[in-house]
Chain A
């Protein structure tokens, strides 16, 4: 037997209850098991290549290392290559190993936040090919350049566990756009193959007509990046530059750096006409299976000991105000039940000490049936986005709980704005962690700043000014990694538009589905 819950609660009640529960929740935090920062296994990204071969022992360097000939030794993925060696031990099996890396993001999942720490690069040797030396100690073998990170790769000929000879290969970076012409707002897909794994080869900076649009990475996709820009500007030629970078912005004299192969790729796009504003849309990241279980506001410490209750939701992600059906079982029969929402309140601005607190929000109350079950419907609160928890409470104890992800949603943007006049873009469901508390804003593919949703409880109202010639102008909002408050040393990709958010982003491993907003206005005189 089940009972229906009341789910209406005034905001005054919410605040009062939130304040009352904050202290208790904070106390619980101190005893909760908190994971340390850790490199997280990347989720499987559809279309991204996996490791092309088995990881093997790369062998031990010999005192007298010979060199291998590799032809060609600079080529893109898929090219045919011949590698040969002479003067090696005769009639021996040779394993050719390709030196590369696995790259993982480092996250610090905590009940009250998810911090982005950076990357971890683990160098590995991968079996590339096998050969056998002839009676003169020579061998030759051909292979196709694997789908792997770009840049320099050492190749070793390993005989009986010893690196007897060394070769090298530069996997070239290629960048292409499609289409190459179209009206304002045309989605331009940029495909990059051969991003590198070392720090100074792992970030791409995008310029559109010499204006900074954002950064791209391919850490968990073995150097493959696919992302979208939109055609902006007047009718005529526009230049998209995919520049080398170390952290966020272009490294403009990369030719003088030790990694000159990451230098800019420049592509022309022709805007054919202004066909008016494209419809507002959200572009979502790849649907992936998260690889870590930690969720913000999910605490095991406040669960009732020996509770065997369980709770299910008929959806685990959605925007604010989504109606969600709740089913619970194993509750104390015929006893009152409260459903509550866990969240936080605070901000990161000038943060020293405790800057936000846990809060609970009632979602409804009722009574369990005689069989200890209940069925109810709740409405996801209009508040912070990201991971929250629905808790089932009886007699002051949490009997069961289940995470729910609040997706970002779009509220409004005006269609027409006079040049020089202000206008507002409104969003809801923006979160509070370093993964999801902020959106980065571009105007005609030029990064102009960011907007945060933490202090405003998920509601973001961005004031912009209409500039440029009369006609269509594009506003794009991208996910951003908030690398401040706290700031960690040497983290890349922070505080700028994460253009490659759809396929390579730290939050994907933790279940953060963060979209880009594709918006536009008409500027008039």
Chain B
């Protein structure tokens, strides 16, 4: 796991040092105290929306009723230490129109391949505003330094779409399976 964390940490460093320098050069401080990697996945427990065929896949497009899970990996810039409950005082996500979402540090994945990172999940309200949304991720370390990241995602309406009848899918399934 240490090796994995190191790889993630390097990826995180590369991500947050490169991406903001392109997108937000004018607003950047000269020095980062904390480096963050942020993404979101669709949670497997939506309320008011159909579960997607595959859960926990990375996406930045959500419908109302879906479960959005923020995932964050971070390091302390000066030391390279992984951000965890050992060195983070608090961490949260701010989404417009919603109470702050507390970020939790925990292990995820199969027992044989567990990965530790920060998560916060929420269900997009049924009447949540459509369109582009900017969530703000905030970390404060025990040493008093901050790390923030603006993460953009899009809320789209769930639309009626043409569907293939289940019967035809069942017929097709064995053929698909036998190809493997």
Residues of A within 8 A of B (CB): 61, 64-70, 73-74, 152-155, 165-170, 255, 258-261, 263-264
Contacts and interface: CB of A to CB of B under 8 A. Distances in A.
Contacts of A255: 159, 161-162
B131 A65 contact: no
A169 B130 contact: yes
B128 interface: yes
B61 interface: yes
Nearest to A70: B129
Q: Interface residue tally of chain B, by bracket?
A: 20 to 34
Given A73-B157, A152-B130, A153-B131, A67 B61 contact: no
A154 B154 CA distance: 11
A65 B96 contact: yes
Contacts of A61: 134
Contacts of A73: 129-130, 157
B131 A258 contact: no
A70 B134 CA distance: 19
A165 B132 CA distance: 13
A260 B161 contact: yes
Contact of A261 (B129, B133, B134, B157): B157
B127 interface: yes
B165 to A, nearest CB: 16
18 contacts: A68-B129, A70-B130, A73-B129, A73-B130, A74-B130, A74-B157, A152-B130, A152-B154, A152-B156, A154-B132, A155-B129, A166-B129, A166-B133, A167-B129, A167-B130, A259-B156, A260-B156, A261-B159
B129 A168 contact: yes
A155 B131 CA distance: 9
A66 B157 contact: no
B80 to A, nearest CB: 30
A65 B134 CA distance: 10
A260 B129 contact: no
Contacts of A155: 129, 131
A170 B96 contact: no
B127 A69 contact: yes
B29 interface: no
Main secondary structure of the interface of A (DSSP, over half): strand
B16 interface: no
B101 interface: no
B97 interface: yes
A380 B156 CA distance: 56
Given A154-B132, A169-B130, A263-B161, 12 more contacts: A61-B134, A65-B97, A67-B97, A67-B98, A69-B129, A70-B130, A166-B96, A168-B131, A170-B156, A255-B162, A260-B159, A263-B162
Contacts of A70: 129-130
B29 to A, nearest CB: 17
Contacts of B130: 70, 73-74, 152, 167-170
A67 B129 CA distance: 6
B77 interface: no
Contacts of A258: 61, 154, 156
A252 to B, nearest CB: 11
A197 to B, nearest CB: 14
Contact of B157 (A154, A166, A170): A170
A379 B118 CA distance: 78
B96 A66 contact: yes
Contacts of A261: 156-157, 159
Given A66-B96, A68-B129, A152-B132, A263 B61 contact: no
Interface in B122-156: 127-134, 154-156
A165 B98 CA distance: 12
A264 B160 CA distance: 12
Contacts of A263: 159, 161-162
Nearest to B64: A73
6 closest A-B pairs (Cβ-Cβ)? A67-B97, A168-B130, A168-B131, A65-B96, A154-B131, A168-B129
B155 to A, nearest CB: 7
Contacts of B154: 152, 258
A155 B155 CA distance: 13
Nearest to A169: B130
Given A168-B155, A263-B159, A67 B128 contact: yes
Nearest to B60: A258
A67 B159 contact: no
A74 B10 CA distance: 43
Contacts of A167: 129-131
Identify the interface centre among B96, B129, B156: most chain A CB within 10 Å of its CB: B129
Interface string B22-42: 000000000000000000000
Contacts of A165: 96-97
